Chain A
Amino acid sequence: MEKLIEQFSFGLFFWQLLLLVILLLVLRKVAWRPILNAIEARESGIKDALEAAENAKKEMQNVTADSERLLQEARMERDGMIKEAREMKEKIVADAKALAQVEAENMISQAKTAIEGEKKAAVAEIKDQVATLSLEIAEKVIKGQISDSGKQLKLVEEMVGDIKLN
């Protein structure tokens, strides 16, 4: 210890003190401040970039989820529409079938009525003609039988029997 105190050099202490103060001040100004600021700026830049990337990722996920949802909705809508269309088609077809049935029945019944009418008309006409013919025959017979009354009777009977057959 005594040797240490004896060896203590005040000059060296003085110079070390002076130089260390200068070194501290100079380095603080020219080195540490700009270096630490640059490092800090870089670190905050990295932090910001990472955060921005994280946000972008989240947004991307949201967008993907949204589009997925939209797609799902669209798919469901499409399925719904297809189903609806199919139902509509079936209904239309069924309706058309029913309508056609009714129409056809109508037509058939109309045709039947018409045929009936025609038939009646034809029968009436035939009856008229038969009557006419009968009258003509009767006339002729009368004309012819006036002369032969037996024959005339016989003829009338024959004719009347023919009519019954009809």
Chain B
Amino acid sequence: MQKPFYVRFLLVATFLLGFTAFAQDEDASSGNEQGSVKAEIKEFIAHHLLDSHDFTLFTIDEEKNTHFGFPLPVIIWDDGLKVFMSSKFDHGQSVAEVDGNYYALYHGKIVKTDAQGTINYDEEGHATNAKPLDFSITKNVVFIIAVSLLMIFMFRKMAKSYSGSMLPKGIGRGLEPIILYIRDDIAIPNIGEKHYKKYMGYLLTVFFFIWIINLLGLSPLGVNVTNNIAVTLCLALFTYFITAFTANKNYWKHIFWMPDVPVFMKIVLAPIELLGTFIKPFSLMIRLYANITAGHLILMSILGMMFIFKTWIGSSMSFVLASALSFLELLVAALQAYIFTMLSALYFGMAVEEHDDH
């Protein structure tokens, strides 16, 4: 059977790319040990998974410390608010001096040091330097702001396109089915026709926020906001507090004084049920964090393998694998947003459920 043109093209391109990577690797690492490449990749991945105080798109020369990107504002609270640009750190190479205090970057965190930038360690190898409260506009914060603005712009435009016409125009045409899906297949079945309306705003916001930010994480910009536990904790806390504040009497009754069971069981069940309410959002937090982190870790490891394998076949294989995995990650990006929204809706549904036939 004759394969379509683009399939053959992709196959040829894959092998050629494999060859190129192999050839480049031969040239560049002729003097290097393979171990150093591995360590470099490991460090790169670890660095990629962390937040950073400057916006670096790519590094031009590691030796000369030249990067393509721009610095971001650093805001710290250390006996008063201190604001300066992250260019003072020079990508962690130098110590920033502000108002007579010295700060340095240690594994992406700002620590207080002396003029030489000395890091003190305890027996376990942890830095003992004081860590000022860091409210910096980091790369992730920039992306959260960007996604927020994008969402406001997009959905405002969509909302405006409804005026004077029954159907949305432009971007709304694609977004409306998703909104309808969230309403008809997530909110209404889980929360119920009666109460779903007050949760729609949160469910829609969270779905699109996680989805868009996950998709941006897959872009070559190389940010991944949802693999920060702080971000997923914040999202999960929202779900928790909305559940707790909108819950009806029935919900609390089922937690603290379970009906239709003996008194002894009521006492045993209360702490378990209470713990359950915390575990639910906790699982939301860990699930989103772990899925996105794992996806990035595997994807980047496979990409890194391209530079470790010295044979053209190995590099080609990891290229194919990375491509396949990228598609999987596209699915995961939407799936995690869906799961988070779905489970939030489920918890809200439990909170407003009415047991009148007990």
Contacts and interface: CB of A to CB of B under 8 A. Distances in A.
Nearest to B152: A26
Contact of B159 (A11, A17, A30, A45): A30
B255 interface: no
27 contacts: A4-B229, A7-B50, A8-B230, A9-B109, A9-B230, A10-B134, A10-B230, A11-B136, A12-B141, A13-B230, A13-B233, A15-B141, A15-B144, A16-B234, A17-B234, A19-B148, A20-B238, A27-B152, A31-B152, A31-B155, A32-B155, A32-B201, A33-B201, A35-B155, A35-B162, A36-B200, A42-B167
Of the candidates A26, A33, A38, the one having the most CB atoms from chain B within 10 angstroms of its own CB is A38
Given A10-B134, A14-B135, A32-B155, 9 more contacts: A7-B50, A13-B230, A15-B137, A19-B144, A34-B162, A35-B158, A35-B162, A38-B159, A38-B166
Given A26-B152, A30-B155, A31-B159, A39 B176 contact: yes
A20 B234 contact: yes
Contacts of A20: 205, 209, 234-235, 238
Interface in B96-148: 109, 126, 133-138, 140-141, 144-145, 148
Contacts of A22: 148
A19 B238 CA distance: 12
B148 to A, nearest CB: 5
Contacts of B230: 8-10, 12-13, 16
Interface in B160-190: 160, 162, 166-168, 172, 176, 179-180, 183
A26 to B, nearest CB: 6
B249 interface: no
B240 to A, nearest CB: 13
Contacts of A9: 51, 109, 134, 138, 228, 230
A136 B204 CA distance: 153
B297 interface: no
A104 to B, nearest CB: 90
B278 interface: no
Interface of A: 4, 6-17, 19-20, 22-24, 26-28, 30-36, 38-39, 42, 45
B195 interface: no
Given A17-B234, A31-B158, A12 B179 contact: no
Contact of A27 (B145, B205, B229): B205
A23 B234 contact: no
B156 interface: yes
B210 to A, nearest CB: 11
Contact of B138 (A11, A26, A34): A11
Interface residues of B, number: 48
A38 B160 CA distance: 10
B216 interface: no
The secondary-structure label for the interface of chain A is helix
A42 B148 CA distance: 28
Task: Rank and list the top 3 A-B pairs by shortest CB-CB distance, nearest first.
Answer: A31-B155, A38-B162, A13-B230
A11 B135 contact: yes
B135 A34 contact: no
Interface in B314-331: none
A78 to B, nearest CB: 52
A12 B51 contact: yes
B201 A39 contact: no
Interface string B312-350: 000000000000000000000000000000000000000
Contacts of A31: 152, 155-156, 158-159
A15 B145 CA distance: 9
Contacts of A8: 229-230, 233
Contacts of A34: 159-160, 162
A45 B131 CA distance: 60
A66 B89 CA distance: 91
A123 to B, nearest CB: 117
B45 interface: no
Contacts of B231: 12-13, 16
A11 B229 contact: no
Contacts of B144: 15-16, 19
A13 B162 contact: no
B133 A27 contact: no
A19 to B, nearest CB: 5
Nearest to A13: B230
A47 to B, nearest CB: 13
A34 B200 CA distance: 12
Given A9-B134, A12-B230, A23-B151, A30 B156 contact: yes
